[in-house]
C-alpha cells in the first residue's frame, strides 16, 4: 500500500479513535495525546499489521496499549464528568428525549467513576463489539481477567445507577 493510501486509511479512523480516546481518558488533552501517539505508532508499525485484519481493531489495540503506558506514568489522571463537556447538547441534537438524556448523563458519570481498566474493557466489549479474546489481546491481559473486570464494571455501573437519587426507576 502506498503512503498516500496508508495515510488516508488512518485519517478515516481518526474520528472513531478520538471519541474512543475521550471516553477512555475522560480528559480532552490526554485523549489527544493518546490519539497522536497511536497514529505515530501505527505509522511506524504499519508493516506489522495483518493486511486482512480490521484496521480499526488494530488501532484500538495500539490505543489501549498506549493508554496503559500513560497510566503507568500518570496514575492520578484527572477525571471529568463528560469526555468533552458537551454531552447534553450533543444528545439534544440527536433527538434524545429529556428523560433519556438525564439517564445517559448519570450513566456517563457512573462510567467515568470506574477505574480506567474497567472503562477500557467496557469500551472494547460493550461499545466496539470486541470478543473477549480480542479485548484480552488489546489490553495484554488474560481472558479470565477480561471476564472478571467486565463483570465488576457492569455491576458497578448498575449499582451506581440504582443508588437513591438516581432516576433509573423512573425511566425503566
What counts of helices (H) and strands (E) characterise the chain?
9, 0
Q: Cα dihedral sign for 157, 69, 27, 9? A: negative
Residue closer to another protein by CB (options 15, 75) is 15
Residue closer to another protein by CB (options 51, 72) is 51
Residue 136 CB, nearest approach to another protein (Å): 11
DSSP 30-99: HHHHHHHHHHHHHHHTGGGS-TTS-HHHHHHHHHHHHHHHHHHH-TT----SSSSS-HHHHHHHTT--HH
**Contacts to another protein by CB under 8 A:** 15-16, 19-20, 22-23, 51-57, 83, 87, 91, 94, 96, 103-104, 107-108, 111, 122-123, 125-129, 131-132, 147-148, 150-151, 154-155, 157-158, 161-162, 168, 172
| CA separation for the pair 35, 20 (Å, rounded) | 9
Residue closer to another protein by CB (options 39, 136) is 136
| CA separation for the pair 163, 9 (Å, rounded) | 44
Residue 94 CB, nearest approach to another protein (Å): 7
Residue 51 CB, nearest approach to another protein (Å): 7
Residue closer to another protein by CB (options 77, 161) is 161
| CA separation for the pair 70, 62 (Å, rounded) | 12
Residue 44 CB, nearest approach to another protein (Å): 22
Residue closer to another protein by CB (options 10, 96) is 96
Amino acid at each position: 500500500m502506498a503512503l498516500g493510501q496508508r495515510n488516508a486509511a488512518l485519517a478515516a479512523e481518526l474520528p472513531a479513535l478520538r471519541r474512543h480516546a475521550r471516553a477512555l481518558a475522560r480528559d480532552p488533552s490526554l485523549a489527544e495525546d493518546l490519539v497522536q501517539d497511536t497514529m505515530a505508532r501505527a505509522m511506524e508499525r504499519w508493516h506489522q499489521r495483518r493486511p486482512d485484519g480490521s484496521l480499526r481493531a488494530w488501532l484500538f489495540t495500539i490505543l489501549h496499549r498506549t493508554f496503559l503506558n500513560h497510566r503507568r506514568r500518570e496514575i492520578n489522571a484527572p477525571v471529568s464528568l463528560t469526555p468533552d463537556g458537551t454531552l447534553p447538547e450533543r444528545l439534544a441534537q440527536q433527538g434524545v428525549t429529556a428523560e433519556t438524556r438525564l439517564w445517559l448523563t448519570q450513566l456517563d458519570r457512573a462510567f467515568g467513576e470506574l477505574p480506567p481498566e474497567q472503562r477500557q474493557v467496557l469500551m472494547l466489549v460493550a461499545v466496539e463489539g470486541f470478543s473477549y479474546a480480542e479485548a484480552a489481546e488489546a489490553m495484554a491481559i488474560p481472558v479470565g481477567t477480561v471476564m472478571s473486570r467486565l463483570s465488576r464494571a457492569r455491576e458497578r455501573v448498575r449499582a451506581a445507577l440504582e443508588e437513591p437519587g438516581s432516576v433509573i426507576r423512573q425511566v425503566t
